[in-house]
Structure 1
């Protein structure tokens, strides 16, 4: 018994998430589409993996981080277990329920206007300054987790999530997902490529993100970054937690292993989310819906009976006030699938899709 490593209940539940086949979608596209259910980690997202690794990489009694929500929730949960204080800085384009969850977990939250990383008021930059200020006051050692640049993020997916997925599905032909910090797609993608070079690794990118052009053309640029059009505070997409205007340290470790990129628009994500709920029984968030759209597009480019894997990042309950809110969707100039019969564009031309 003394040889058994004792960890908290929260930590013990991180990882080993199931790989689930989307049966209806797979039958429709004639390829096997699987989703790795990272939403079933104890904190509700795959960010639990990175949060645990990054927290272990740094010491301090006050944890400070800038996050769109999911990493903060994971960190706040870990801080509760360890008796550490937690401060989280959020951009204001996230669902309000994330802030309420963070505060319920004991975190102190600050909300700032969304901005480019070059802006000193970007949420990551504000979090960094708060950590510096706390250390200057000297009452407690503060640690800035720095999820975008802390390569413990990449390491945990390269060393754990990638091998876990490979054990579950050694015959996959393509791995498809979006990028937030870049750690997940870089870590998993690089591991899979090193196991079998023929595995296609494809990035899914939302409107306003520069990564699509980085992968496709070698330059990190988005039309929204044009000087005459650049806004101090940008709200280019309703997708939360994905899309970047730079290559982070984490993404840099795997960017050369990404074969291509796909741009997915907001309406496609909304349509797919509603389709998944109706046809697969999965209630997913915005980034997960974009991932599945990307997986379908890649599937249709591959031979029949190919196997494609993507990630379900989180579930719909963290997106009730925005992505799953009819009024919000309409305010973005988009259509609400419940008001009319909408079929996701990536499958609407497939025979039999309208009958589902």
Structure 2
């Protein structure tokens, strides 16, 4: 009997001790190490898998991507107050005040990427087309002026230079080895002012196609060939930024999209880096040789361009745009004219045209033959001085 009573008291004491002060008891999860059932290894594997090739590539190239900030002066005209109320026909019978012209500075934004540690930067030609000044913002937020070195209108490639050393250049790949279906990473600064951060944005897709030709609709003739197509999202501000493969190599310069809304629809295009590399090398080696200027943007006439423009391919250089107040403008040259020969020499490539220009100085008069609406025209034109900044050939 006594043995049973002692046992009961002990049991009651144990229960009472176990149930007291539950609010201060250490949570069970902190008291014991869970059994090694493979969960810890799985979590570790997931963590490691997050550091995949795309993450590594974006991190490696991202530090080389810059924001390109431009300012362009445009001419605006103020219309007379009657233009909203009367038709052109009616106003022909009444005096109308002259149009007042004024200048306005318009800011622009794009992307670019560093290609040398001493400050050379690649971007798209249309990002800096006709601008008055360029600044570059780095991923750390610092911002400095950039010098325009040169561009190729047809390739849509431009080279800038900043006075800064020890910069992290991006690693350039081989665009000839691009495979349709492989990963593609677009890095740049879309809507940079709205985002408000110097850190670039990253979007991912695949290479959709190669060798595309497209005509962009704007105020000039701009036709591009042999483009890389991707479905990685490219938006306004991405232009000039790098298209990267999963190895962290730049394979293209983001240049254009097809859109009905102004945003990405998954059809983006990039200039192959092999093309850009060749153009950049030519620009850097020859930019200080130019001593004269005509004032035109040129596109070599190829079969596909002749087809798009709906004329017979007889070679030459298509004038895509004429710079206002340039020698070409004052001589009456127009967008759509084809330069057949320059200074008595036939020209089929922009390099051939440049060689002739390099041999002349401002003030020299040269013979120019063009083809307009199927008819050849020959005349003399006096070359001008190369302007500051970007203004064609």
Larger Rg: 2
Would you call these one fold, judging by a TM-score over 0.5? Answer: no
TM class by smaller structure? under 0.3
Higher relative contact order, chain-length normalized (CA < 8 Å, sep 6+): 1
Pick the structure with more strand per residue: 2
Pick the structure with more helix per residue: 1
**TM-score normalised by length of structure 2:** 0.25
**TM-score normalised by length of structure 1:** 0.27
